[in-house]
Amino acid sequence: MWIRSLMAYRVSFVMTALGNFAVTAFDFVAILLMFSQVDRLGGYSLAEIAFLYGTSGTAFGLSDLAMGSMDRLGKRVRDGTFDTLLVRPAPVIAQVAADRFGLHRIGRVLQGALILTYGLVVLDIGWTPLKVLMIPLMVLSGAAIFASVWVAGAAFQFVAQDAAEVQSAFTYGGSTLLQYPPTLFSKELVRGVTFVLPLAFVNWLPALYVLGRPYPLDLPQWVAFLPPLIAAGCLALAGLAWRAGLRSYRSTGS
């Protein structure tokens, strides 16, 4: 339904999709501008950072496409329109995800994929079947990890209805963090996004395996293969949080 409504104004759709493409592209332009002044950042070359940027951007873009509407939940709870979702014969979470489904967010996915392709072309990697397999694996698991952050954030909005921006810190903030190599950040921060909120499994750990770079925090080599498991665990936890949030929901009664 939302796709059809978007397509009713084709010019507007193309404009917003391009806009999404451009908004995210500016992040990479900033990186290019940095590399107009230096050859390396945190010991990483532009091609390596493009690879990190591309994997983070594509994974996040896919999750944004599927779950990016989750931040509208607080507004629906506030104005009372959330109730209409409860009486419809479809899973509530699917309805929230599909609420104003924005196909124009495809621009973000395309932008990430483009930079990823650039990185893969320019990089000199000794490819093995395992490394090749790692690319789609990390993008899909990464998208699932980000999706669970969206769902957990939505569950949080049942409690704090005005706090949609906190979610942005973890979603948009997380994807920005992962665009840069872990060598830039403090040990505590890297520890936090490895063991507490496992964003490091979106791309850092699998990508460093592909690049043949040392892992942060002296982690063993096999952790690079954990993303699918971590993703499944995150989705399960987010699902529990969502159910707890839904159960705690009291209508505004208006």
Residue numbers at the binding site for another protein (CB under 8 A): 12, 15-16, 19, 22-23, 26-27, 29-30, 33-34, 36-38, 40-42, 160-166, 168-170, 173, 176-177, 180, 184-186, 189
Q: Which is nearer to another protein, 95 or 176 (CB)?
A: 176
CB of 136 to another protein, least distance (A): 27
CB of 189 to another protein, least distance (A): 7
Nearest to 227, CA basis, from 146, 170, 114 = 146
Can you tell me the distance from the alpha carbon of 70 to that of 100, in angstroms, rounded to the nearest whole number? 10
Residues 6+ apart with CB under 8 A from 161: 74, 75, 77, 78
CB of 235 to another protein, least distance (A): 23
Q: Which is nearer to another protein, 134 or 156 (CB)?
A: 156
Beta bridge partners of 41: 44
Can you tell me the distance from the alpha carbon of 186 to that of 203, in angstroms, rounded to the nearest whole number? 18
Tokens of 76: 């629906």
Can you tell me the distance from the alpha carbon of 122 to that of 61, in angstroms, rounded to the nearest whole number? 22
Q: Which is nearer to another protein, 54 or 181 (CB)?
A: 181
CB of 43 to another protein, least distance (A): 9
Q: Which is nearer to another protein, 145 or 178 (CB)?
A: 178
